[in-house]
């Protein structure tokens, strides 16, 4: 298992990449600006039983845990 960091995972290539690696069984840290707008990503994690690291949220912009 690899660990992958994907930025801008809400739509497009970022979303597809995050889901692709998650479906392969890799650990994916999906970077999003607002978790509330990441509905397609969060739904896929729930429905497909993909690993969920959302309990470990960190704000890179602020340089600290929220």
Q: And the tokens for 39?
A: 């509905």
Q: What is the pLDDT of residue 60?
A: 57
Residue 50 burial (C-beta neighbours within 10 Å; 0-12, 13-18, 19+) = buried
pTM of the model: 0.74
- pLDDT tens-digit map of 28-55: 888 888 878 888 988 888 898 887 766 6
| pLDDT surpasses 70 at 27 | yes
Domain boundaries, the chain: 3-47
User: Could you give phi then psi for residue 61, rounded to 5 degrees?
Assistant: -60, -35
């Amino acid at each position: 298992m690899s660990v992958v960091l994907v930025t801008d995972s809400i739509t497009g290539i970022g979303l597809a990449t995050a889901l692709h690696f998650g479906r392969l069984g890799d650990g994916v840290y999906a970077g999003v600006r607002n978790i509330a707008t990441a509905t397609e990503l969060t739904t896929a994690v729930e429905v497909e039983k993909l690993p969920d690291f959302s309990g470990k949220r960190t704000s890179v912009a602020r340089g600290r845990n929220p």
